[in-house]
Amino acid sequence: MPHDSTTIAAISPLLISVVVPAYNEEEVLLEFHRRLTEVFNPLPYTLEVVYVNDGSSDKTVSVISDLISRDPRVALVDLSRNFGKEIAMTAGLDYASGDAVVVIDVDLQDPPELIPELIRHWQEGADVVYAKRTLREGETWLKKFTSAAFYRLIRRVSRVQIPADTGDFRLLSRRAMDGLGGLREQHRFMKGLFAWIGYRQVAVPYRRDPRFAGETKWNYWKLWNFALDGITSFTTAPLKIATYLGLTVSLAAFIYAAIIIYKTLAFGDEVRGYPSLMVVVLFLGGVQLAALGVIGEYLGRMFDETKNRPLYLLNKLVPAQTRKDTSARTAPTSSRLEASSEISS
């Protein structure tokens, strides 16, 4: 239901949690926090900023600890090692206790100034409000091209309609958060999971800025593996392609075998055709290995899921003073994180 923010804020201010994964981001953290707090200070909401340290090797934790000492709205979720952005984001979402949760990168490519617009759509009844890029500054043409090609490919082969030109920058309602918290798969493609939960989703266009400082942690090898996770998590199309390709090649091989038999019976057996024989053998072998590779990708992911390991472990958890009590919730998502914290400490 839509909310009247003024009336509700006067009775009990709504809590907005902002989840910020960080990996070696000491250069940009202070500027990010300054801009974020400038956005929220005039708003009639309580703020909780959840910084997730994903095994940083620089002074990221020290900077966040300094922010905690100066701002009671800051929380730290410190993972035991680097688990990757998708897992770090999940840890932050598990912890966040807000009535609505915003996910945003710390590099300031996604402007915090857009958050009030996301909140407005949530107040009007949307459960997921995602920021859609109209322009991507500071990125090479190759990255833009490959990114656009990937999202258009996965939209065609997946049953889940994943929005194109959309990153992780978005707002989720508590209902959407509770639904997302039940999805605990190891190979996490969060953009697909955000779309999979459904509910009412609204796009907000924006212009993406260049990175404020530091260097991107994504190289093309990591992007390739990320794309594989997305495809194998949300479609079985590669398995179907391998099946149809195998059937086509088998049919072609059967026809070719029939031609060879006919020529042998009609014209006799001649010792010729070694080059064509090698081409056929190598082609069939290559198709078989490619199909086995596709099967292996899915089998490896099934193997990881059957081990049932926790998604992450914590080194330290420092809650924000503005955190809501989540003990009354049914199957709260944060309980997994708090249990992990007790075990790891």
Same domain (yes/no): 277, 329:
no
The C-alpha atoms of residue 261 and residue 113 are separated, in whole angstroms, by 73
In percent, the amount of the chain with pLDDT more than 70 equals 65
Same domain (yes/no): 57, 178:
yes
Asked whether the predicted pLDDT for residue 51 surpasses 90, the reply is yes
Same domain (yes/no): 287, 327:
no
Task: Annotate the chain with three-state secondary structure.
Answer: CCCCHHHHHHHCCCEEEEEEEECCCCCCHHHHHHHHHHHHCCCCCEEEEEEEECCCCCCHHHHHHHHHHHCCCEEEEEECCCCCHHHHHHHHHHHCCCCEEEECCCCCCCCHHHHHHHHHHHHCCCCEEEEEEEEECCCCHHHHHHHHHHHHHHHHHCCCCCCCCEEEEEEEEHHHHHHHHCCCCCCCCHHHHHHHCCCCEEEEEEEECCCCCCCCCCCHHHHHHHHHHHHHHHCCHHHHHHHHHHHHHHHHHHHHHHHHHHHHHHHCCCCCCHHHHHHHHHHHHHHHHHHHHHHHHHHHHHHHHHHCCCCCCEEEEECCCCCCCCCCCCCCCHHHHHHHHHHHC
Report the predicted TM-score, pTM, of the whole model to 2 decimal places: 0.68
**Is 231 among the domain residues?**
no
**Is 156 among the domain residues?**
yes
Same domain (yes/no): 152, 264:
no
Query: Average pLDDT of the chain?
Result: 76
pLDDT in tens, 205-252: 888 765 545 565 555 566 666 566 666 666 666 766 767 777 677 677
Which is higher by pLDDT, 335 or 35?
Answer: 35
**Is 227 among the domain residues?**
no
Asked whether the predicted pLDDT for residue 69 surpasses 80, the reply is yes
Distance of CA 204 to the CA centre of its chain: 19
Same domain (yes/no): 294, 318:
no
Same domain (yes/no): 189, 200:
yes
Confidence at 326, pLDDT banded by 50, 70, 90 = low
Same domain (yes/no): 294, 324:
no
Residues 6+ apart with CB under 8 A from 93: 19, 101, 103, 172, 177, 180, 181, 333
**Is 287 among the domain residues?**
yes
**Is 169 among the domain residues?**
yes
* Structural domain of 265: 237-307
Same domain (yes/no): 302, 314:
no
pLDDT in tens, 158-176: 677 777 777 788 899 898 8
Same domain (yes/no): 130, 96:
yes
Same domain (yes/no): 86, 140:
yes
Which is higher by pLDDT, 272 or 59?
Answer: 59
Domain count, the chain: 2
Same domain (yes/no): 91, 68:
yes
**Is 285 among the domain residues?**
yes
CATH of the domain at 340: 3.90.550.10
**Is 229 among the domain residues?**
no
Same domain (yes/no): 81, 167:
yes
pLDDT in tens, 287-313: 777 777 777 777 777 776 677 778 888
**Is 225 among the domain residues?**
no
